[in-house]
Structure 1
Amino acid sequence: MMIEALIAVSLLSAFAVFLAPDKVAGKLAFVLSLLPLGGSLWMYSVFEETGASGNALLGGTLAFEETFQWVALGPYTLNWHVGLDGISMPLLVLTTVLTPLAILAAWTPIDTRQSQFYGLMLFMETSLLGVFSALDFFVWFVFWEMVLVPMYFLIGVWGGPRRKYAAIKFFVYTNVASLVMFIGFIALVFGLGDSVNTLDLPAIALALNDGQLGGLGAVDANTLKVVAFFAMFAGFGVKVPIVPFHTWLPDAHVEAPTPVSIMLAGVLLKMGTYALLRFNFTMLPGVAKDYALLIAVVAVVSVIYGAMLALAQSDLKRIVAYSSVSSMGYVILGLVAFTMYGIGGATFQMIAHGLISGLMFMAVGVIYNTTHTRMVSDMSGLANKMPITVAVFVAGAFGYMGLPLMAGFAAEFFIFVGAFESTVLAGTALGTHGLALFTAAAMFGIVIVAGYLLFAMQRTLFGSFDLETDYEVGRAAFHDVAPLVVLILLVILLGVQPDIFYTMIQDAVGEMDLIAGGGH
């Protein structure tokens, strides 16, 4: 019952903070957020002892699994089914690590309706824990949609001048995407007919991979697979986001307060890539392989286009926001490789990017708290005024560039190795190792990333101090700097010892190249 306890503690903490006075809400929320963190770290420490192995959707043995019948819905049984494998365990830990750090980062900028703000942050954590642990589609979908509610209010109430526009745009994009995804998945369930009588994700995945999908009305099985695959791909692609579904993200990030941007980039975007891995690439690997060329194009376009858009920005927050679009392109490239290193690297990139992007948004937030501007052209020479913040910002930027011995390098290295090994494009005109060409193009994205980050750092952090402001610029408060230091240490730790997560990830994804009928 550990997963249920984790979710319950987080939910009860949210209600407790809602009822607390504003003057203690921030500190209470931080203390209570340490409870799920402690629980998840204990679960991680005993993960191997539980005997967990393999993939949750491919008959693997799960850790902390619980299942019982919930309610009958026509011919289908809805079950409370939760459990963790080597893919979901690291994401659960990532969620519980970033939440208290984001709450700590909120102490300076959030000064109104604090109990509501921190309560919504904890409610969002509750929803995310459910997304990464639920194994019944109905339960999973409830948690998936629950995430939208706190995020909408966190942006719409505590955001910047255009917060209402950004919140509505975020809600409309992601809600419509959820509807498209829902239709695609339910069509698959109906197409399976009597072969399944549940919405249990492992049962549906095994039935699909056993070839039990039939037609649906006038639509034959093969067409249904393709239509459902791209409906889900588009729905999840909005959440990632991939080009061309990315336009909601910069607006949401720019208008959202710093702690919300930390959770949005650090965890919420991973919902999309996690769902793509679970649904598209695990349930319908044959379709993914058949359309691997198209998916690889989408991945590389996201990498290059996101990086080019970041290069054109003058707002530090927009620069980091577009960097996320570029980084998520690497995840798609790793998934479509259908090799152990490719899929494993894509999953590891979710964790690495979660830490690094959270760090970067946090650093930009600390700079903004002090200077009250995020414009590159408005400031210079901050290194002498904010040495610790600037040092961490520079380290995080080099992590984004893929500096060795940092988590970003390990993730991208695994992805590139897996993509170079891949034979998924063997049936195309590009030949057996055609994906290597896309990998080479994606590597060029690293050069662009280095270009815009180095320019932004040179312009804002170094040189003589120049800032037209009425505010005194000095060292940031301890509670602002402490989360930055924790995150950069975690980024370095995962870069030096990627096996902290990569061993369990590799165990969970090792058989996925086989179900696609190729790869290594």
Structure 2
Amino acid sequence: MIIEALIGITFLAALVVMLAPDEYAGKLAFALSLLPVVGSLYMWAGFDAGGNALMAGSIAYQTQLDWLTVAGYDLQWFVGVDGISLPLVVLSTVLSSLAIVSAWTPIDTRQSQFYGLMLFMEANLLGVFTALDFFLWFVFWEAVLVPMYFLIGVWGGPRRKYAAIKFFVYTNIASLVMFIGFMALVFNLPVGSFGLPEITQSLQAGELSSFVGLDPATLKLAAFAAMFAGFAVKVPVVPVHTWLPDAHVEAPTPVSVMLAGVLLKMGTYALLRFNFTMLPDVATRPLVATVIAAIAVISVIYGAMLALAQQDLKRIVAYSSVSSMGYVILGLIAYTGLGIGGATFQMVAHGLISGLMFMAVGVIYNVTHTRMVGDMSGMADRMPITVGILVAGAFGYMGLPLMAGFAAEYFIFQGAFASTVIPSAPLFTAASMFGIVIVAGYLLFAMQRTLFGEFSLETDYEVRRAHFHDVAPLAVLLLCTIALGVAPNIFFEMITDAIEPVVAVVGGGA
């Protein structure tokens, strides 16, 4: 029952913090957030499961209880983890605690409500990554939107209401499209519950029936397209990415950390769980694979080009996320062990590095009150530790060896290059690799303009060294990034165990 304890404690912590006085809320929220961190690390240390939870593999820390029956379908409390979901559970708890610490300086109004909503969001994220019943999963999936809407809309920048509404509308419509696509499959399968393993196994056995004149193959394609479109908005990929920069720019720094570090992974995680695990026969059709690979490469290149054109440091990092998620999509559609394994590893690596980058930009903004590249220079002289960690994180983004970003991209490129699913796979892989050059271009340009050279600042604020509690989360994230780069098997071994059955269905290789 550890998953129930993990989620329940986090919900309870959110309620306690909500009721606490503002002056104690930040410290109390951090203290209580350490409980889920300890719980997730305990799960990781004791993890002993093989295979994919949706494909008759063993499920770690499983609980399956009947809840109620609606229209002949059993709704269940069904939770558990495998090698795909557990790394994301650990990422969620660690990043949430660090994001709460990073909020101590910038958040000075309605603090108890802010920290309570952060913990409420964390609890629902844990539900998304552990739920194995679709109805339960969908409740958590939608519930994540509520705290994020208020965190942006109440504590955000000047255009916070516009950004919050745009985020909510985009993702809600996408969820509706996804829901329709998935239910079209369920209602035409001989299943008695919304359990994801049961639905997956029924689809793999070819038990889907025709629906309103659509033969099973066509119905699968339509459902795949609907689910892909819904999840693609959450990732996001080009061209449904426009809500992301607005949300990041207006969101306070801790919220941007969670948005880039964890919420975007909801989309890629769901794509792997639903589209690429349940419907591999659709994803591996040459035309479908070509379209998805093209979307991935376009997202990598276009996202990087957009970042190159920005002057706001937050927008630069935001568009970088669009580019990085393109690599995840490419790895998934490769259908090789290294491809899908690398894509899953990239979810964790990007969560750490993007969180570090947003935090570092936030620390600089707290001191200078500007994020514009042209408004400052020579920050390294005044904030050497913060700048040093920011530079290290940027090199991690560029794929510096012995950092998590390099390991993830290496796995993805190796897997994609060897793919037999993507037509002309080497060409798509080579095109995506060009994105690394653009990433280096815009990051080096931004750092050279803002961090080095003679000191100058367009604002009237005095530049001082950051507080210890501002720098400490950056150092922790940097150490985690290096640790995963040096020893990727911290997570990669359990990831490969979980994706082997997915690859085996389509006859993929290493």
TM-score class, shorter? over 0.9
1:272 aligns with 2:267: yes
CA offsets per residue over residues 463-492 of structure 1, 9 Å max, x none?
Answer: 000002221101000000000000000000
Conserved 8 A contact 1:339-1:512: no
Distance 2:425 2:353 in 1: 27
Picking from 487, 498, 505, the partner of 1:508 is 498
Aligned to 1:404: 401
1:452 aligns with 2:447: no
1:113 corresponds to which letter in structure 2? R
1:440 aligns with 2:430: yes
**CA RMSD between the two structures:** 0.7
CA offsets per residue over residues 187-226 of structure 1, 9 Å max, x none?
Answer: 000121xx20110000000100111111112211111000
Aligned to 1:199: 194
Picking from 210, 225, 229, the partner of 1:230 is 225
1:329 corresponds to which letter in structure 2? G
Distance 1:262 1:225 in 2: 36
Question: Secondary structure at the residue paired with 1:510?
Answer: helix
- CA drift at 1:382: 0.1
Distance 1:274 1:439 in 2: 21
Conserved 8 A contact 1:166-1:251: yes
1:34 aligns with 2:30: no
Conserved 8 A contact 1:188-1:213: yes
- CA drift at 1:516: 2.2
Question: Secondary structure at the residue paired with 1:303?
Answer: helix
Any residues of structure 2 matched to 1:456-475 within 5 Å, and which? 456-475=446-465
Aligned to 1:23: 23
Normalising by the residue count of structure 2, what TM-score does the alignment of the two structures yield? Answer: 0.99
What is the aligned residue count?
Answer: 508
Distance 2:60 2:509 in 1: 28
1:239 corresponds to which letter in structure 2? K
Aligned to 1:178: 175
Aligned to 1:424: 421
Conserved 8 A contact 2:337-2:508: no
Question: Secondary structure at the residue paired with 2:188?
Answer: helix
CA offsets per residue over residues 123-177 of structure 1, 9 Å max, x none?
Answer: 0000000000000000000000000000000000000000000000000000000
CA offsets per residue over residues 31-76 of structure 1, 9 Å max, x none?
Answer: 000000001001110003xxx1100100010110000100101111
- Percent of residue pairs bearing the same amino acid type: 73
Distance 1:246 1:493 in 2: 31
- Larger mean CA deviation between 286-295 and 318-327 belongs to 286-295
CA offsets per residue over residues 242-281 of structure 1, 9 Å max, x none?
Answer: 0011000000000000000000000000000000000000
Distance 2:164 2:2 in 1: 34
Aligned to 1:109: 106
Aligned to 2:303: 306
- CA drift at 1:517: 4.0
1:141 aligns with 2:131: no
Aligned to 1:483: 473
1:378 aligns with 2:392: no
Conserved 8 A contact 1:320-1:357: yes
Distance 2:3 2:426 in 1: 40
Conserved 8 A contact 2:14-2:117: yes
Distance 1:516 1:154 in 2: 42
Distance 2:224 2:331 in 1: 18
Aligned to 2:14: 14
Any residues of structure 2 matched to 1:205-244 within 5 Å, and which? 205-244=200-239
Conserved 8 A contact 1:420-1:439: yes
Distance 1:491 1:215 in 2: 48
Picking from 324, 327, 330, the partner of 2:324 is 327
Picking from 95, 113, 118, the partner of 1:98 is 95
Distance 2:262 2:109 in 1: 25
Gaps of 5+ in 2: none
Picking from 62, 66, 86, the partner of 2:63 is 66
Conserved 8 A contact 1:191-1:221: no
Distance 1:516 1:254 in 2: 41
1:44 corresponds to which letter in structure 2? W
Normalising by the residue count of structure 1, what TM-score does the alignment of the two structures yield? Answer: 0.97
Gaps of 5+ in 1: none
Conserved 8 A contact 1:169-1:248: yes
